[in-house]
Structure 1
Amino acid sequence: MDLNLRGKIVVISGAAGKEGSIGETILQRLGEEGAIPAVIDRNSRGFDYVKKLQQKGVDAVFCQTDVTDPEQIEKALNTISKKYGRIDVVINNVGVNDGVGLDGSYEEFMNSLKLNMVSYFMIVKYALPFLITSKGNILNIGSKVALTGQGRTSGYAASKGGVLGLTREWAVDLIHYGIRSNAIIIAESWTPSYDTWIRTLPNGEEKLKSIIEKIPLENRMTSTDEIANACLFTISDRSSHTTGQFIFVDGGYVHLDRSLLTDE
């Protein structure tokens, strides 16, 4: 199915993670669909990713940006808008489960909010005039932690809860402009960061096995390709009457009856 993304200017934050991360996978899929990715990330890997896309004939741009700094975000959006004259989609993908719990300081908690939620607000704020012109759309990458909790990660949980609130608020606020706003909610997906976390645990193999056993559909983790596919469909005009939705790409992890996980 042609998603009609060719030539669309797609601003995506947090797409310069390690190869195989959710953001990097979405970035590669955007290139394959002929979209024009405009990457906002603080990691210099973004330069290499964009260079490789350009070598394949894909137009792309990287703006190295600390998304906790509003001035840097504004500068990045100015650069993108001046280069292309339009913005069609914003994908807010930044997310770091930083473990800032109740024992964290005020500064640590606020920094978690700035990275994981406030950056979403600021990127949309500066992209909005262009989204209004293009009747574009917004896609926020969320987490099941906003709905289930996790423990010892108040900053991340609060941020991701706020992201879901913003998703619905923007869907209402911008509906008269024809702008759609949705969120993809992820549960357990195998990424480089997940691998790093598992390796820090003394019983990592056992922990991983117990997690996988709790995923109802096929008892496996969601692949980043599956997440990217859902993202691209949602931002495309093939999903043109979908707004204000929380789309779960989680193998039934959050909602399905736990009795599915018991042996008969």
Structure 2
Amino acid sequence: MPVDRIHWDDLPLAARAAVEHHTGPVLHAATADAGANSGIAAIITTADETLFVKGVPTDHPQIRTQQREAAINPYLPPPCPRLLWHVNVAGWDLIGYEHLVARHADYAPGSPDLPLVARALLELQSTRCPDIGLKRAEDRWSGYAGPAGVEQLAGDTLLHTDLAPHNVLMTDIAHLIDWAWPTRGAAWIDPAVLILRLMEAGHTAEDADAWARGEFPSWAAAEHDAVAAFSEANAHTWDEIARHDPQDWKKHMGRLAHDWVTYWRTQAP
């Protein structure tokens, strides 16, 4: 459920004061264009630093995803922007992050960003998954599973699971952001999620699969039936997303998810 976006000056005075308790007086604030899941997303400048502030009203369902972001941040690999503070006041839940001067990743075929994205994902796969009550993959996708079931999705890898290009910021390395859906599961699930986004950017299913096999040992070693089970569940997930909010890009992702299922069925186990 999207949140109506407001500007920094529209926040209640008490909320702004709570932020400035951590930052000092805000001299300038610019509303960010990207993202639809925050009621405020602003780059703020003080006398000493520039920060990224995001937040949602405390009575909005989206607060659960923001609280997950705050909870997982201390356990993320170093390239992920650090959470600096978290305040809940005047009907708003607000978090402040390090600000990166960066751009969104380019997933197009041949993009020089792709090896850097792969490196960031490999670093994540080698990061210890914290014991903080994360959703388990086999539970998260159980309601969407077909006959193959989802027990094969279980694992102990920390997963991002929402690797859209706007959730990856590029400097000289790739930085994974927007941790609304951290999950514990099999390591190959994030490459499977990334493959759909590569297809969205113009890769064929075959080319995206081949690229992932060359970059991620977890994907190259994934059991055919396990990938089939996830792919079917993920396609059903996108179907539901598009039904509830039929934006063109969501319907397109649903079609790509089914195209991937069709492709995977042709691959020898």
Structure number with higher helix proportion: 1
Q: Which has the higher contact order (CA 8 A, sep 6+)?
A: 1
| TM-score normalised by the chain length of structure 1 | 0.28
User: Based on CA coordinates, which of the two structures has the bigger radius of gyration?
Assistant: 2
| TM-score normalised by the chain length of structure 2 | 0.28
